[in-house]
Structure 1
């Protein structure tokens, strides 16, 4: 990967468009990004990351992309041109942001945009040019990630080398190192494998626990089923942790005891059944004898009672015989009574209909006679003819009534139309004046709304300026205090630096005495090599030691760090105060407060008028709509009134003709319908009288015939006349009651005689009384004994069956659990091994830690090659998988081997400059390993962010040599730093300057500085 060109617009601290030519900077192989603190050096690297991945680096992801200094109309955009995998690409990214509306006031959102283009030799227009590849965020991101071979986290660690992160990485514990390495090398799959095995172990454990619970549930059921037998075998009952075989043995023991108890219960049951059969036989014998003796006694008493009842019922039996003789002529008697009733009914109907005919004739003013049958038939013919004529006139009368109703309805509708027309005329009289007034009022409200919107924008602007002015006053006081702190810390830092220089000079002066103190008799001198030491130098009273010099240097570094913090705080306050003053527009708080108060008063005066704009618009629309409706109503009402007048004239002519014809038809009746009803009623009454007269004559003839037949049948049955026959006859219900009574009496007498003659009953009566109650008591006792025996036998049999079923369930469950227990043992050991449990893993190293340890060993080896050169062959980084103290995991320890002492020590013991050596070497080594992991993608452009301020002159030379070796492999290395010494060492430079209106970039050279 090689960067060529970067264009930033409204990004981070850059308000406008800034162009960075990486080809020009990379020509010398090494270039410097410098500038004041907060100017935006790291923002250049953020822009590279944002262009490639659409996101800022992890530590700055919460910061916004858009510049606070940019104008509202300037769109934030990053354009990066680079070479990836031999392809020249250009990626353009713009985040989602707000821009001013093209019409009206306010802001509108604009969506994020991404464009990926590729340089092609033939762009389709006869020459080279850029060809679009994708405009999709997702597609462009996937293509760039595929070509880079690394994700955003890896890129930020490999290409943008953050020294502070690796200094912390040197001193981190195993857990913190694992987090960083896990993100870079994507070892999450191994962690997922650990979690999967742990989850699988839990599942097996759950299945085992479930199986054990089922075993103990079956044991509890067996204990419950065994009942009192379980108490005898309680000492052999297995506990919860016992193997399944113990449960099977205990269940078998219970089954054997239950089988023995069942055999004993069967023997007791057989004996109880024999005793109960004998008691039942004795009871049945005595009960049968008692029943026969009782039946004989009851039969004798019943025979005496029935004989007495027969003697007292003789008169009633004679009455029954006479009534049965009268039953022969009974059908003729019923016919005679029916004929009498029919004649009476026919006479009543004829009289009623003649009275009704007389009333109808009087109502219809009928003068002809209506007494004899001939007269009635003649009147019937005349009336039928008159009825037909009046039916035709009735239809004309109905038509006349319907036309009268239509005329009334049409007159009412014409009046309603005239009222609507008059209402619309009155409403439209002042319509034009009302319309003009509403239009003028709405125009005034619109002007007030426009002015109010302008004043609202101005109010927001003044409020922002007032807040900025107030912030400027606060920051000015803070800046004065910060300036005092900077001056004090400057004096302290200069004093500490002078103290260090003095001690260094004094130590060099007394270095001979310091070397002499290390001499040993007979050992060669480290300076001259002589084993003899005739006159070693003596230390002075104020001899300076290396420890004195180290303490002075530490105090100097602390003072310089405090000075740097104070200077950084002062710069931030000055920049913030300048920004606040510019935002206030150079105006004071009093002036801005007065202007804001006046503007608020003007807003209140316009508010009421502006609020009327929407209601007035609704009123105007409603008035125009109502005006159109009233005009249309007036036109329709006029048309309807004219149409209804024509219809009423035609109705009046037809009604006059119908009235003339109806007057002739109804005569002196109130209406044709009344005349027709009277004639129809008279005709119907005449016909009814004729029918009634014929029915009366027929009923009289039938009565005479039934009387003759009934008298003949009565004499044949032995009755002198019809009166004797009527006296002997009984009602059916009474006759049936007498028949049933004497039939039952005869049957009871016959049954009593038969029972008294039964040989079995007579023999039983001659024997002594039966002893049924003692036999019943003995049978009850035998039943109780049998029930107890049955209950005991059933319990024993159920116990045997339940225990056998539970035994089969236990055997099946044991066969089912055998492979589960075996799998649980194996997966538990595997999960413990992968999780680093001490019982299975001596180093307590998790699987992911094991993989990361291998990667860390590769990183340490790659970093050592550069660390040896930077430290002059003194230091070597080694990976250690030895056990650590406590419960911490092992496998991710880093140690440094000091060649001067030959000892291995922790990386936390390195000094500031030595830590920079190690962290830079570690960062470069990690870049190599991650690059190889990603498929060997060459990284032609690298950035190193800060850390050079901790190096002395010699160490800086060593580091620059290492960076030169990177340049030798056609790599471009960018150093992000504000260390003054680097300005004279690195020729190509990118200067980032900060201003009140935003930062700018400038390409400079060593001569320019």
Structure 2
């Protein structure tokens, strides 16, 4: 770390702007910061610390940063340029401070501000990196490798804190040295060893538990035996556990094999008995089957004898049906003739019923003669028929004239009534036209008022919509702000986690034989490993992108809210304070009134048209009245002519019609009925003759086929289903007789029937008993063989697990020894020193050696610092102890026994040695600028010369040391100076260069 330039404004005792050029001061390697007491020398160091960490050294915490002499309009600000980690940075910080309000009187509190920029050589300008207090603090801590307290101990040694590191205990020194030398990888190695020890222990214990589980499974497989050995009491981790389990398994397998041999012999005996019982049952079942078969054949023969009469009857009925089939054609002819005769008689009866009574009993010839006479009369009635048709036409025309007269009369009455109302109708139409004229004028007035109301309603609706949008936009802005804050915190968290694990990320890029990007070494003995929750660059960049997206969303939400509020203000100005519902009601009322008036105005063309139509109808009614009068006169003359022609036709028809006939149609009907009755009588006579002939032929055929009467032949006839059923019954009877005869003739069945009754149930019970015995023997044999196989398999698995466990147990023993050794708890670790403490002890030993070179010269060869591994007070762990060796007495004593001046230069030597070792450490933090605040007043002239000589030698390592002191002698010994001038209205700074005094 090297400081370049710092500018402070309204900070501490500086009311204006003060600039400190550290590059100019550091050119000589040693510079002096001096001024009177209270001038503000320590405030310059406070400003450096505040610019880096946002806070001042611990002893000055809580102090007021803003200058009491500053102008109210001048903000307090510190700007620092430095180089750290090879990067040139500019840090700007402003604390929370009051400022005058821009409007009105009084003050308001301005929030704290922080910004970090980086100088880019390629562009020749500064690029902003961050404005987050937390992010900037984390970045500075990562670059410098120290937090604020550690920075004040190693780089910025404030007044009164010279001996803090010298007198710190082992724990405090471990924290500081661990951050400076980055020994976290050794702590990680300790944790890794401990974790491997725990994992090894878990694996070994898991194998033991699996072996025990296998032993229990073997115990279950072996089963309980009277002479079997019980499973020994074992637990995970017991010595000789595997050997005891394998020994017990061998005994169990021997017992299982012996038991399997016993069950195998028992199974063979049970199988022989079962086969004998099966053969006895088969023989008994066969004998029983033959005996049942012969008995069934005897019963079937008896049943056949009982149904023999029915069998003969069926054969006789089938033979009679064959004879009746020969009579069937004659019977069908007789039945058809009978149906025809019955139909003819029914038709004759119906025809006679339609005749007059005088002809109902006449025979067919009489009826035929009367029909011929009626036909002759029809020729004479042709003229009468034509006269009758003309009379009907005249009657229809006369009726039509009557209807026309009635219609004209009704129309005339309606026309007269409408003509009487004409004047009132014309006046009503005129009034309608006048009202439409007035409504047209009012419509224009109402339309203008309606448009004003509509615009106010639209503005009110827009106002309400925008009010909802404003609330929604405000909620979106609030949510986007919260999301942006969460995304920002997430990004910072991931960035912090990535920075904490940056060593593992760098280690992931290492290649075998390639140089390290940090130290340049091509040997990578112990690269850092990612810890739990490690974050890589991709995750951090994704979180940063999410943060930028959330910020963009928040800005869009803010812009949307501003736009909505502007539109809402305009809508409120246009709508006023009227409620939207009230405006809706007002607009609806106005629309109804406007619509009603507009409809009335729109009625003007229709009203005019209806008036014209009414006038046309009035004129047409007048013309129609004239035409009705003309038609009435014509109808009267025509009616008289029709009446005269009807009278003449009636006289002609009376002369032509025969006596008793009223008209021609009656005569035509009589002739038709007589002809139909004559034809029906002749048909009935013919069918009677055909029926008599068919009956004679049927009687002859029946007697020839052996039937006494035709009725007997008809009764003997059978349908096809009945015949088929009789044939099947006869065939079954014959087949059954043949089968029964064969069964009764079987020699085996006859022999079985002669033997005693078989007893298959007894033989089946014997077989069931043999089967149960065989099942038990088979199950016992299967179980014994299964136990033997399972014991063999489990024993083999136990032997395999035992073989696998041996190297794991050896590896676990080695890892446990290494873990306890690294953790300092092993008996082999006599100093009880942890691995990280061991490394820090080596570093502290280097620091003590480097510090002793300067301390030896500062103390004129009397004192040196020595590292000790002795435990503090004989208790706890060791490794970070410091002692001062007095060459005058030859003894080593505690650093607390040094005097004030001795403590000062011992602390100074230790700080300088620490800076040297940290800088030389590969990958360590380079400390190019150191500050020493006071303490030089406790030194005599000779010691002061020695101290200054030592400090002057730092320029050889391109390091600058700033001395803060008001000792007057230093002004003549240090040429590069920064003077703090105290005045009544505040302090200022001046750069000075003096000629140094010659040193002694």
TM-score (norm 2): 0.55
Give the corresponding residue for 2:557: none
Q: Which residue among 294, 297, 319 is the counterpart of 1:296?
A: 294
**Unaligned segments of structure 2, at least 5 residues:** 348-435, 464-567, 613-686, 995-1000
Answer with 311-320 or 981-990: which moved more: 981-990
**Residues 753-796 of structure 1: CA deviation (Å, up to 9, x unaligned):** 43322211110111122244443333333222212211111011
Answer whether contact 1:238 1:250 (CA < 8 A) is retained: no
Equivalent-residue separation in structure 1 for 2:169 and 2:600 (angstroms): 103
Give the corresponding residue for 1:31: 32
Equivalent-residue separation in structure 2 for 1:870 and 1:40 (angstroms): 29
Counterpart check, 1:855 vs 2:843: yes
Equivalent-residue separation in structure 1 for 2:290 and 2:952 (angstroms): 136
Answer with 15-24 or 845-854: which moved more: 15-24
User: Does the C-alpha gap of structure 1 residues 807 and 968 become closer, same or farther in structure 2, counting only changes over 3 Å?
Assistant: closer
Q: How far did residue 287 of structure 1 move?
A: 2.9
Q: How is 1:526-675 mapped onto 2 (pairs within 5 angstroms)?
A: 619=576
Counterpart check, 1:786 vs 2:787: no
Q: How is 1:928-1007 mapped onto 2 (pairs within 5 angstroms)?
A: 928-933=916-921, 941-945=929-933, 951=938, 954=940, 958=943, 961-967=946-952, 969-970=954-955, 973-976=961-964, 988=977, 990-991=979-980, 1000-1003=987-990
Q: How far did residue 185 of structure 1 move?
A: 0.8
Answer whether contact 1:719 1:725 (CA < 8 A) is retained: no
Answer whether contact 1:36 1:994 (CA < 8 A) is retained: no
Q: Which residue among 95, 115, 122 is the counterpart of 2:117?
A: 115
Q: How far did residue 166 of structure 1 move?
A: 6.2
Equivalent-residue separation in structure 1 for 2:308 and 2:608 (angstroms): 104
User: Does the C-alpha gap of structure 1 residues 237 and 313 become closer, same or farther in structure 2, counting only changes over 3 Å?
Assistant: farther
Give the corresponding residue for 1:202: 198
Equivalent-residue separation in structure 2 for 1:812 and 1:433 (angstroms): 94
User: Does the C-alpha gap of structure 1 residues 238 and 308 become closer, same or farther in structure 2, counting only changes over 3 Å?
Assistant: same
Q: How far did residue 200 of structure 1 move?
A: 2.3
**Residues 395-438 of structure 1: CA deviation (Å, up to 9, x unaligned):** xxxxxxxxxxxxxxxxxxxx9xx99x9699278169489979x9
Equivalent-residue separation in structure 1 for 2:735 and 2:12 (angstroms): 128
Answer whether contact 2:89 2:116 (CA < 8 A) is retained: no
Give the corresponding residue for 1:80: 80
**Residues 585-616 of structure 1: CA deviation (Å, up to 9, x unaligned):** xxxxxxxxxxxxxxxxxxxxxxxxxx999967
Q: How is 1:692-841 mapped onto 2 (pairs within 5 angstroms)?
A: 725=714, 728-729=717-718, 732=721, 747-841=735-829
Give the corresponding residue for 2:127: 134
Q: How is 1:238-637 mapped onto 2 (pairs within 5 angstroms)?
A: 240=236, 241=238, 242-311=240-309, 425=446, 428=449, 431=452, 619=576
Give the corresponding residue for 1:665: none
Q: Secondary structure in 2 aligned to 1:428?
A: helix
Answer whether contact 2:159 2:934 (CA < 8 A) is retained: yes
Q: How far did residue 80 of structure 1 move?
A: 3.1
Give the corresponding residue for 2:368: none
Aligned pair count?
Answer: 688
**Residues 167-204 of structure 1: CA deviation (Å, up to 9, x unaligned):** 34344433332111101111111111222222222222
**Residues 659-686 of structure 1: CA deviation (Å, up to 9, x unaligned):** xxxxxxxxxxxxxxxxxxxxxxxxxxxx
Answer whether contact 1:286 1:770 (CA < 8 A) is retained: yes
Equivalent-residue separation in structure 2 for 1:846 and 1:25 (angstroms): 44
Answer with 749-758 or 139-148: which moved more: 139-148
Q: How far did residue 937 of structure 1 move?
A: 9.1
Give the corresponding residue for 1:5: 5
Q: Secondary structure in 1 aligned to 2:911?
A: helix
Counterpart check, 1:159 vs 2:149: no
Q: Secondary structure in 1 aligned to 2:163?
A: helix
Q: Secondary structure in 2 aligned to 1:842?
A: coil
Counterpart check, 1:193 vs 2:178: no
Answer whether contact 1:293 1:765 (CA < 8 A) is retained: yes
Equivalent-residue separation in structure 2 for 1:644 and 1:321 (angstroms): 106
User: Does the C-alpha gap of structure 1 residues 943 and 813 become closer, same or farther in structure 2, counting only changes over 3 Å?
Assistant: same
Answer whether contact 1:114 1:135 (CA < 8 A) is retained: yes
Q: Secondary structure in 2 aligned to 1:234?
A: coil
Q: How far did residue 982 of structure 1 move?
A: 8.5
Answer whether contact 1:248 1:811 (CA < 8 A) is retained: yes
Answer whether contact 2:91 2:114 (CA < 8 A) is retained: no
Q: Which residue among 214, 217, 237 is the counterpart of 1:218?
A: 214
Counterpart check, 1:182 vs 2:183: no
Q: Secondary structure in 2 aligned to 1:897?
A: strand
Q: How far did residue 213 of structure 1 move?
A: 2.1
User: Does the C-alpha gap of structure 1 residues 316 and 9 become closer, same or farther in structure 2, counting only changes over 3 Å?
Assistant: farther
User: Does the C-alpha gap of structure 1 residues 910 and 308 become closer, same or farther in structure 2, counting only changes over 3 Å?
Assistant: farther
**Residues 425-470 of structure 1: CA deviation (Å, up to 9, x unaligned):** 278169489979x99xx9xxxxxxxxxxxxxxxxxxxxxxxxxxxx
Equivalent-residue separation in structure 2 for 1:768 and 1:264 (angstroms): 43
Q: How far did residue 990 of structure 1 move?
A: 4.5
Answer whether contact 1:88 1:119 (CA < 8 A) is retained: no
User: Does the C-alpha gap of structure 1 residues 730 and 433 become closer, same or farther in structure 2, counting only changes over 3 Å?
Assistant: closer
Give the corresponding residue for 1:480: none
**Unaligned segments of structure 1, at least 5 residues:** 124-130, 348-414, 443-610, 654-703
Q: How far did residue 650 of structure 1 move?
A: 13
Answer whether contact 1:5 1:23 (CA < 8 A) is retained: yes
Counterpart check, 1:877 vs 2:865: yes
Q: How far did residue 979 of structure 1 move?
A: 8.8
Q: How is 1:47-66 mapped onto 2 (pairs within 5 angstroms)?
A: 47-49=47-49, 51=51, 56=55
TM-score (norm 1): 0.54
User: Does the C-alpha gap of structure 1 residues 968 and 774 become closer, same or farther in structure 2, counting only changes over 3 Å?
Assistant: closer
User: Does the C-alpha gap of structure 1 residues 433 and 290 become closer, same or farther in structure 2, counting only changes over 3 Å?
Assistant: closer
Equivalent-residue separation in structure 1 for 2:146 and 2:731 (angstroms): 118
Q: Secondary structure in 1 aligned to 2:855?
A: helix
User: Does the C-alpha gap of structure 1 residues 251 and 937 become closer, same or farther in structure 2, counting only changes over 3 Å?
Assistant: closer
**Residues 888-923 of structure 1: CA deviation (Å, up to 9, x unaligned):** 222112223344543333334555555444333322
User: Does the C-alpha gap of structure 1 residues 764 and 964 become closer, same or farther in structure 2, counting only changes over 3 Å?
Assistant: same
Answer whether contact 2:145 2:179 (CA < 8 A) is retained: no
Q: Which residue among 916, 923, 928 is the counterpart of 2:911?
A: 923
Equivalent-residue separation in structure 2 for 1:48 and 1:65 (angstroms): 16
Equivalent-residue separation in structure 2 for 1:293 and 1:836 (angstroms): 101
Give the corresponding residue for 1:601: none
Q: How far did residue 857 of structure 1 move?
A: 0.5
Equivalent-residue separation in structure 2 for 1:143 and 1:433 (angstroms): 62
User: Does the C-alpha gap of structure 1 residues 838 and 915 become closer, same or farther in structure 2, counting only changes over 3 Å?
Assistant: farther
Answer with 874-883 or 931-940: which moved more: 931-940
Q: How far did residue 964 of structure 1 move?
A: 5.0
Answer whether contact 1:98 1:110 (CA < 8 A) is retained: no
Equivalent-residue separation in structure 2 for 1:48 and 1:293 (angstroms): 127
Equivalent-residue separation in structure 2 for 1:926 and 1:969 (angstroms): 13
